[in-house]
Amino acid sequence: MRLSTFRFQLSAVAIAFIPSSNVVASSVQQCGDAFGPFGNVTSQLTCLTYGNVKYKCARESCHIGCRATPVTADTSLEKNFYFSHCQIADTSSQMVQLYPDKFTAHNRKGFVIVEEAHVMIGGGSIEYLTGQFNCTWTKSSPHNGQRPWCNECEPVSQNHLRKTSKRILQPS
């Protein structure tokens, strides 16, 4: 008795989805060196990391805390990210608490320059400020050394932090 020989042919179809060059996955970044408006787009921020890499981040994804901290009312930037005991650059006497909208950190020297910010004033109203404010920190008083995290960031190729020609005054 002869056994029939069966031949099986297997076919495989591979489907690959290749994203276009302008699709980039979001990543979590810490804005260690600078933070500010992304051009005129109010829903996005420019974030410059400690590694000097620029990112465009969704404003609502930014928070205080650490990488894994979720964005909540207690961690959102609007009311929770601030620098305290900041001096107006042209004076040495007035100290203010600022909620920064744009800052550049001089981490090795222990100070931050805030150029755009808002302050909370009586009755819960907000006043917007532009100018130059120096906010210092030390190891014994590290609050002004905090930096925001943003959960939805994409790399950018241009510097979207608006440059200023103002003189940087180092705190004494």
Q: To the nearest whole percent, how much of the chain has pLDDT over 90?
A: 52
More confident residue, 53 or 137: 53
Nearest to residue 84, comparing CAs of 121, 126, 135? 135
Cα distances (angstroms) measured from residue 42 to each of 52, 58, 96, 159: 23, 9, 25, 16
**pLDDT at residue 90 above 90?**
no
Least-confidence region, from 7-16, 33-42, 99-108, 111-120? 7-16
More confident residue, 164 or 23: 23
DSSP 3-state helix, strand, coil percentages of the chain (rounded to 5)? 10, 40, 50
Q: Quickly state the pLDDT bin for 92 (edges 50, 70, 90).
A: low
Chain position carrying tokens 């808002």: 118
Q: What per-residue confidence (pLDDT) applies to 7?
A: 52
